[in-house]
């Protein structure tokens, strides 16, 4: 009898443990909403990325190809923006300004490009300067190859670390068994380059035969969120899993994040991809979502405008159409909260230099989160 009781206790304990991640994935609804989302820029079908200029204007990349400047309440189109390969998830993607923008004026853009011999397109990174209503000094810093007519997984976010290196992501381009685990191929990678496009001499694969030397980490599926953790200086990414298995990772030099060898996700058809979620030499995610939320842009809250959110991570959900706030403790997600429900697919979120949070919602435009007094 005593034995059977301890057995029962063990079984119950086991059940609790196996439900632990399930519990983490339950998203809470806050009791009190402490902000009002105010639509400041309307009529934007898919505002993919945002960059905030020192003069208070906002540069917006519209997926279908327009680069837009919003200044003093007006939108204008910036000429000479990169020619995009409009296919599937490709288009005009992220935009970021140089850490030393005030002195050098460089703007960085990621987009899908047809450049090259073969049919189709792949992700490219360009830098340029803004002169009046036009981009000038356009330079392509990186163009992934080969081109492909597949519509999936172009990435791509741009971020800088404290040393001024430029990081960007490219997804697996719909070729998961070919690209992500092979460092001689583009796709399924996070890249690190100097801001002029040259390769840092201490990149992890500079001495590897045939490697794409811009690669910083590999084994990614489709990272569409990337931000520097302002507290640690680390580069954080989120990426789309297949069905289930979206992840948050801290990007480490030369590390392998396991796609498609290990994943918490399954095929869209419901069949398994692998039964492995862990493997030696491959990194576990800091957090994963089952079911997938389809994470896009992300930002850390550091400003004093939202005292109760300080230190939180904000991530947009494309699938469930809300803004997720994640509280972290020692690099673990300890609480998840659902904000801005039912407004639409959230594509990007950024804390701007003015300390306010700006959120891009597909089919609507850009919202500013105004704290309630």
Partner 1 sequence: MKFIIITYISALITLTLFLSQDKALEESIKRGADIYSDFCVTCHLPNGKGVEKTFPPLAKSDYLLKNREESIRGIKFGQQGEIVVNGITYNNTMPAMGLDDEEIADVMNYILNSWGNKGKDFVTPEEVSKIQKK
Instruction: State how far the Cα of 92 lies from the Cα of 285, in Å rounded to an integer.
Output: 28
Interaction residues for partner 1, span 290-319 (CB under 8 A) = 294, 319
- How far the first Cα of the chain sits from its last, in Å, is 61
# residues near partner 1 by CB under 8 A:
25
Cross-strand pairs, 108: 96, 127
Nearest 5°: CA angle at 46, between 43 and 48? 125
Among 153, 220, 240, 287, the active-site one is 153
Shortest Å, Cβ 45 to partner 1: 6
341 binds partner 1 (CB under 8 A): no
Residue-wise DSSP of 131-146 = ETTEEEEEEEEEE-SS
**For the chain, where are the alpha helices, taking DSSP H only?**
2-18, 20-24, 101-104
110 binds partner 1 (CB under 8 A): no
Residue with tokens 């505002």: 47
Instruction: State how far the Cα of 184 lies from the Cα of 69, in Å rounded to an integer.
Output: 38
85 binds partner 1 (CB under 8 A): yes
- Give the binding range for partner 1 (CB under 8 A) out of 66-74, 81-89, 185-193, 328-336: 81-89
Shortest Å, Cβ 192 to partner 1: 28
106 binds partner 1 (CB under 8 A): no
Distance between alpha carbon 171 and the CA centroid of its chain, in Å? Answer: 10
Instruction: State how far the Cα of 161 lies from the Cα of 242, in Å rounded to an integer.
Output: 29
Which of 150, 210, 146 has the alpha carbon at shortest distance from 175?
150
Residue with tokens 């079911």: 291
The residue (of 301 and 315) whose beta carbon lies closer to partner 1 is 315
Q: Which of 86, 208, 229, 274 binds partner 1 (CB under 8 A)?
A: 86
The residue (of 88 and 99) whose beta carbon lies closer to partner 1 is 88
Shortest Å, Cβ 364 to partner 1: 9
Q: Which of 127, 176, 212, 345 binds partner 1 (CB under 8 A)?
A: 345
Interaction residues for partner 1, span 259-288 (CB under 8 A) = 268-270
Q: Which of 116, 244, 344, 371 binds partner 1 (CB under 8 A)?
A: 344
Which of 148, 305, 180, 196 has the alpha carbon at shortest distance from 255?
180
Interaction residues for partner 1, span 124-183 (CB under 8 A) = 150-152, 174
Interaction residues for partner 1, span 186-245 (CB under 8 A) = none
Site map for partner 1, 53-72, x if CB under 8 A?
Answer: ----------xx--------
91 binds partner 1 (CB under 8 A): yes
Report the residue count for the chain: 373
Q: Is 220 a catalytic residue?
A: no
320 binds partner 1 (CB under 8 A): yes
Q: How many CB atoms lie within 10 A of CB 74?
A: 9
- Give the binding range for partner 1 (CB under 8 A) out of 34-42, 82-90, 97-105, 308-316: 82-90
Q: Quick one: DSSP state of residue 194?
A: -
90 binds partner 1 (CB under 8 A): yes
Q: Which of 30, 45, 210, 307 binds partner 1 (CB under 8 A)?
A: 45
Cis before 146 (ω within 30)? yes
The residue (of 90 and 260) whose beta carbon lies closer to partner 1 is 90
Instruction: State how far the Cα of 10 lies from the Cα of 205, in Å rounded to an integer.
Output: 47
Nearest 5°: CA angle at 302, between 298 and 303? 115
107 in Cβ contact with 97 (< 8 Å): yes
The residue (of 301 and 318) whose beta carbon lies closer to partner 1 is 318
Active site residue ranges: 153
- Where on the chain is the footprint of partner 1 (CB under 8 A)? 45-46, 63-64, 85-88, 90-91, 150-152, 174, 268-270, 294, 319-321, 344-345, 362-363
């Amino acid at each position: 009898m005593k034995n059977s009781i301890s057995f029962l206790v063990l079984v119950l304990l086991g059940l609790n443990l196996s439900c632990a991640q399930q519990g983490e994935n339950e998203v809470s609804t806050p009791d009190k909403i402490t902000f009002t989302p105010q639509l400041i820029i309307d009529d934007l079908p898919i505002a993919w990325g945002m960059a905030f200029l020192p003069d208070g204007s906002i540069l917006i990349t519209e997926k279908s190809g327009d680069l837009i400047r919003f200044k003093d309440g007006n939108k204008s189109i910036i000429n000479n923006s990169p020619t995009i390969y409009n296919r599937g998830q490709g288009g005009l993607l992220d935009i970021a300004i140089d850490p030393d923008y005030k002195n050098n004026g460089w703007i960085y853009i990621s987009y899908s490009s047809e450049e090259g011999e073969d049919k189709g397109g792949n992700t490219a990174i360009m830098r340029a300067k803004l002169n009046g209503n036009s981009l000038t000094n356009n330079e392509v810093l990186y163009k992934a190859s080969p081109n492909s007519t597949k519509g999936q997984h172009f990435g791509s976010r741009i971020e800088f670390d404290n040393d001024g290196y430029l990081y960007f992501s490219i997804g697996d381009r719909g070729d998961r068994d070919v690209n992500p685990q092979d460092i001689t191929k583009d796709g399924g990678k996070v890249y690190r380059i100097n801001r002029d496009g040259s390769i840092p001499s201490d990149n992890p694969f500079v001495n590897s035969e045939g490697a794409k030397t811009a690669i910083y980490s590999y084994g990614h599926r489709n990272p569409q969120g990337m931000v520097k953790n302002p507290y640690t200086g680390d580069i954080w990414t989120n990426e789309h899993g297949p069905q289930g298995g979206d992840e948050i990772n801290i990007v480490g030099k030369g590390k392998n994040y396991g796609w498609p060898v290990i994943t918490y996700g399954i095929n869209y058809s419901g069949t398994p991809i692998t039964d492995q979620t862990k493997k030696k030499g491959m990194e576990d995610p800091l957090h994963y979502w089952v079911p997938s939320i389809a994470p896009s842009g992300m930002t850390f809250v550091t400003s004093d405008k939202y005292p109760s959110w300080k230190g939180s991570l904000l991530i947009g959900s494309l699938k469930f159409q809300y803004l997720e706030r994640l509280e972290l403790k020692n690099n673990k997600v300890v609480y998840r909260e659902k904000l801005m429900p039912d407004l639409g697919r959230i594509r990007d979120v950024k804390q701007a230099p003015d300390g306010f949070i700006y959120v891009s919602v597909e089919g609507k435009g850009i919202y500013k989160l105004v704290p309630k007094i």
